[in-house]
Amino acid sequence: MRISTSQIYDSALQGMERSNSQLLKLQNQLSSGRRMLTPADDPVASARALAVTQAREVTAQYARNQGHASDRLGLVDSQLSALNDSLQSVRSRVVQAGNTVLADTDRQAIAIELEARLDEMLAIANSRSAEGDYLFAGFQGATMPFARSAATAPTGASAVAYFGDDGQRLLQVSSSQQMPSNVAGSDLFMNIREGNGLFSTAGGGNGGLANQGSGSIDAGSVLDHQKWQDAINTAFPWQGTNNRSLQVVFSSGTGGTTYQLFDVSTPAPPSAPLPPLAVSDVRPFSPGQAIPLRTTAQPPAAPLSVDFGAQVVISGQPAAGDTFAVRPSANKSVFQTMDELIALLRSPLDSSTARGDFASQLQGHLSNLDQALAKVSRVQSTVGAHLQELDSLSSNAAALDIQYQQTLSNLQDLDYAQAISNFTRQQVGLEAAQKSFVTISGLSLFNYL
Amino acid sequence: MKARSGSINSYAEQIGSLNQQIVVAEAATGQPANDLLDTRDRLVAELNTLVKARTTTNSDGSYNVFIGSGQQLVVGPQVMRITTTPSSADPARLTVGLSTAAGVQEMPEALLRGGSLGGLLQFRSESLDQASNDLGRNAASLALTFNAQSALGQDLLGQSLLSSSSSFSPNFFSIPSPTVIANTGNPPSSPTVSAAFVTPPPFNGNFYTDLVNSDYRLDSDGSSVTLTRLSDNKQWSGPGADVAVINVQLASDPQGFTLAAGPLLAGSSYLVQPTRAAATDIAVNPAVAADPSLIAAAGPIRTSTGTANTGGATISAGSVGPGYPAAVGGIPISLVYQAGELRNFPVGARVSIDGGAPVVIGAPTDGVAYTSGATLTLLGSVASSPPTGFSFVVSGLPNNGDSFVIARNAGATADGRNALALAQLQTQATMSGQTDSYQQAYAQLVSETGSRTRQIQVSAEAQTALLEQAQASRESLSGVNLDEEAANLIRYQQAYQASARALQIGASLFDTILALGQ
C-alpha cells in the first residue's frame, strides 16, 4: 500500500496520543488509588460500590447508636445497683424491726433511718442523664417523674405519684433490632405486685376492730398459676365482678377453732354491696396449718367446688371472728411500701393484739420489699443482658465494617502491581514510538540530495 | 447549540455563494472551476462535522444541501437559515428550527442526527433529560415518603395531626409540584392543566412512590384525551374532554401523580414533567429549618397498662399508619378486659385482628375476642388494605377488669419512635412501586449513565478506527509521499540532465559541423 508522508506523521501522532491518554488514565488511577475513575470504567461495580458504601455507613451509624445505648444503659445500671443496695439495707432493717425485744424508741430510730432511705430512693428515681433528661420518666424526659402529690384530707398523707409514662426510648442498634435505652419508672418503682406476686394476704379485722387473736398470715404460696388465673376470671362463680377476693373467717366450734372461706366480691357500683357468701364447709384449724384455697359446693348459692391452686399458712391462735383476706395482687409502689413501713414502725405497740397485727403487717411489707428487690434484680438482669448483647453487636459491627471495606476495596481499589506494570509497559511503548518516529521522520531521500 | 447553528448558517452561506460563483465561472470559461469546487467540497465536509447533511448536484453544477429528513438548507444560490428557538412544547428549552417566510418552523429533534449539533440534541434527549428526571424522581420520592412519615409523628411541642389547632409542620421537605407546560400552539383560551403528586404516597408497611423517570404528554382531539408516557409510548386514553377518565386509570396503574384541568379543547397538548424540577428545587421546609423543635421525632400516641391491673398482660407501644387521627377519635381510650374480650372501644370504631376483616363496634360493651399476642388495628372510616390506623398488641394473661390505656403522647420529649421510622426509610423499599430503596434507585441511575458512557466510548473508538481507515485509503490515493516525490525529482532531474547532455552533445556536434565549414 502506498503510504503518504502526512499519513506517517498522522498515524504516529495518533499512536502517541493514544499512549498519552492511556498513561494519563493510569497516572490518575495510580495517584487516586482507585480502579474506577468514572462509572463508565465499570458501571456494575460502581453501582454495587454505592450500595456497599451505604451499607457500611449505616453499620457505622448502628455502631454509634450501640455506643450511645451502652452509655445510657450503663448509667441506668449504676442507678439500679444503688437502688438495690438501698433496698437491701431497708430489708435488713425491717427484719431487725421484727425482733420482739425492741422497744418503741428502737423502732422509731429504724423509722428515721428508713426515711433517709426513702429520700435516697426518690433521688435515684429522679436521677438524670448527662443531657439533663430524667432517666426513669419514660418518654417524658423533661418531666420530673416522681413527686409527692398534694396531701389528701383528712389524714394529711401524701403518696409519691408517677408523672412519667411506660415509654421505651428505642435506639436502632442493628438493621433489625431496636433496643430500649431506658427503664420506665412505672415498671421499676410503681408496678410492683404486692404479696407473693399473684395474691396478697392481710388481717381482715374483727367486727370493725383489728383481729383479736395472735394469728398472723404468711404471704401464701401458689401451687398452680393457671388454676388461680382461671378461678379468678372464669372457673369460680363470683357473686360480683369487683373486688374478687376470698376471706378466711375463724370461729370457735365444739372441737376447737374452725375456719370457713367466704366470697366477698361485690357487684359493680351503683349496685349495693352483697354480704359475704360462704363457699366452703367449716374446717377444723390447728396453728401453722396450711389452709388450701379450695371451695366446696355450698348449694344453692355456691354450687361449684373450685381449686384456686394456692394455699396460705396462718400461725398463732386466731380468736373467734378474726378474718384474713386473700385477694389478687394489686400494684403497690415501693414508695408506698416505705411510707407504710415508716408509719407502722412509728406506731407504739402497747397490746398483744397490736403486736399480732404488727407481725402480720410487717410480714406483708417484707414480702412487698422482696417483690421490689426481685423487680430490681429482674430489671438489672435485663439491662445486663442488653449490655452484653451490645458488646457482641459491637464486635459484629466491627467485623461487618471490615467485610464491607474489603468488598469496597475489591470493587474500586487499584491493583498497584498491575497498574505500575501497565504504566511501565505504556511508557516503554511511548518511548519506542517516539524514538521510532524521530528515526522514521529523519528518513528522507532529500537528505541525500 | 446557538454557536453551532451560527456556524451552520455561515457554512450554508459560503456554499450558496460558491454555488453562484461556480455557475458564473463555468459559464464564462466553459471549464470546471476546480479551486472553487474543491473549496465547496471542503465546506460541505466541514458542515458535516456539525450536522449530517446530504447533497445533490444540479445540472448547472451547483449543490443542493439537505439536513434532517430533507429540509433544504441550500438550494443553488438560495440559503435558508436555521435558528435556535424556544420549543413550543416546552418554552424553557431551545430547539432547532428552520427560518421560513412564514416564521420559524421547528425541526423534530429525532431527525437531526449526526454531527456535533445532532450529538448535543441526542445527549440532551437520551442522557441529560433522563438523568435529571431520575435525580428528580429520587428527590421527589425522598421528600414525599419522608413528609408522609413525618406527618405521623409528633414534634417537641407535643403537636401532631391530633392537635386541634396548631402550627404542626408535617412536611419536612418542600418540593415543587409536577410541571405542566401548555403547548404554545394550543387553541386560545385553553384551560390550565395542573398535576399533583399522590399525597400521602401509598403505604404498605412503609410509604413508597410509583414515580418513573419519564415525561408525559397529554393530548386532546376533542373526542378523547390521551396521556402518553414518552419513554415507552405507553398510553392511557379515555373518551370526552375531561382528565378525570385518565385519573381513574392512573388509580389502578399508578404513576405517582394525578391531573386536574377543566375540559380540554380539541387539538391542545400539554407536556407533563413530574420530576424534572424536583432535584433542583428540593429544600428543607423553612419552618422546620428555623425551628428544629418542629421536627416530628416522637410518636403521637402512647399506651400504658392500668395501674390497678391485677393480671400480667401488657400492651405494646403501638404504631400509627396513615389515617390514624380518624381511627383514634375517642382518645384517650381505656380498653377493659372482661370475660375473654377486650371492650370499651370507641363506638363506631372498627377493629381488625391480625389484618383480618374489621369488626364494627356498635356499643361500648361490644368486645373483640382476646388473643394474647394478636395485632389489633383500630381503623378509621377509610377502608385500606392492609388495614392502617393505630396498631397495638396486648399479650399476657389479663384478669377481668384490667385496663389498657391509649392516650396522646403529651410531654414526650425523650421519644424518638417516629425518628426511628424516618431513619428506616433509608433501607426500606420506598421507590418504583416498593421495589427499590433510594440508594438502589440512585445506583441504577449511576450504572445506566456509566454503561451509556462506556457504550459511547466504545463506539467512539470504533468510529475513530473507521475514520483512520478511511483517511488512510484517501491518503494512499491522493496523499503525497516525500520519498516518492524525491525519487521522482531525481528521476526527472536525471532525465533533465540526460536531455541537457543530449542538447550539449547536439550543440557540440553543430559546433563541430559548423567549424568544418569555416
Amino acid at B21: Q
The reply to whether A91 and A124 lie within a common domain is yes
pLDDT at B434 over 60: yes
Q: pLDDT per residue over B2-60, tens digit each?
A: 888 889 899 999 998 988 888 888 888 888 888 888 888 888 888 888 888 888 888 88
Please give the biggest Cα pair distance in chain A: 156
CB contacts under 8 A, A 146-205 vs B, are 165-172, 175, 178, 182, 186, 190-191
Q: Strands of B389-460 (E only): list them.
A: 389-395, 403-408
HSE at residue A309, side-chain half, CA atoms within 13 A, is: 16
pLDDT at A298 over 80: no
Three-state SS at A182: coil
In a domain, A442, yes or no: no
The reply to whether A237 and A362 lie within a common domain is no
The reply to whether A89 and A175 lie within a common domain is yes
The reply to whether A235 and A145 lie within a common domain is no
Contact call for A138 and B414, based on CB within 8 A: yes
pLDDT at B326: 82
pLDDT at B381: 64
The reply to whether A308 and A345 lie within a common domain is no
The reply to whether A189 and A121 lie within a common domain is yes
The reply to whether A319 and A230 lie within a common domain is yes
Closest by CA to A328, choosing from B401, B438, B379, B21, is B401
In a domain, A296, yes or no: yes
The reply to whether A289 and A367 lie within a common domain is no
Answer whether B394's CB lies under 8 Å from B314's CB. Answer: yes
Q: pLDDT per residue over A18-50, tens digit each?
A: 999 999 999 999 999 888 888 888 888 989 999
Q: Provide the β-strand partners of residue B390.
A: B320, B378
Answer whether A218's CB lies under 8 Å from A201's CB. Answer: yes
A330, A365, A383 — which closes off a domain? A330
Q: pLDDT per residue over B178-232, tens digit each?
A: 999 988 888 888 888 999 998 888 888 889 999 998 999 999 888 899 999 988 9
Q: Strands of A280-362 (E only): list them.
A: 283-284, 289-294, 307-315, 323-328
pLDDT at B114: 79
pLDDT at A98 over 90: no
In a domain, A29, yes or no: no
Count residue pairs from A and B with Cβ separation < 8 A.
Answer: 176
In a domain, A142, yes or no: yes
The enclosing domain of A161 has a CATH number of 1.20.1330.10
Q: Quick one: what percent of chain A has pLDDT higher than 70?
A: 98
What's the pTM value of the predicted model, to 2 decimals? 0.83
In a domain, A65, yes or no: yes
Answer whether B460's CB lies under 8 Å from B453's CB. Answer: no
Contacts of B453 in chain A (CB under 8 A): 38-40
Tell me what the pLDDT averaged over chain B comes to: 87
Helices A5-32, B438-478: crossing angle, 10 deg rounding: 160
Contact call for B307 and A449, based on CB within 8 A: no
User: Using CB atoms, which residue from A39, A139, A142 is nearest to B447?
Assistant: A39
Q: How many domains does chain A have?
A: 2
A292, A309, A330 — which closes off a domain? A330
Q: pLDDT per residue over A217-269, tens digit each?
A: 888 888 888 888 888 888 888 888 778 888 999 988 777 889 999 888 888 77
User: Using CB atoms, which residue from A38, A167, A241 is nearest to B412?
Assistant: A167
- What's the whole-number mean pLDDT along residues B132-142? 92
Three-state SS at B303: strand
User: Using CB atoms, which residue from A7, A141, A166 is nearest to B472?
Assistant: A7
A250 membership: H or E segment, kind and range: strand A246-253
How far is B11 from chain A, CA to nearest CA, in Å? Answer: 26
pLDDT at B382 over 70: no
In a domain, A25, yes or no: no
Q: pLDDT per residue over B253-283, tens digit each?
A: 889 999 988 888 888 999 999 998 899 999 9
In a domain, A326, yes or no: yes
The domain in which residue A231 lies consists of 203-330
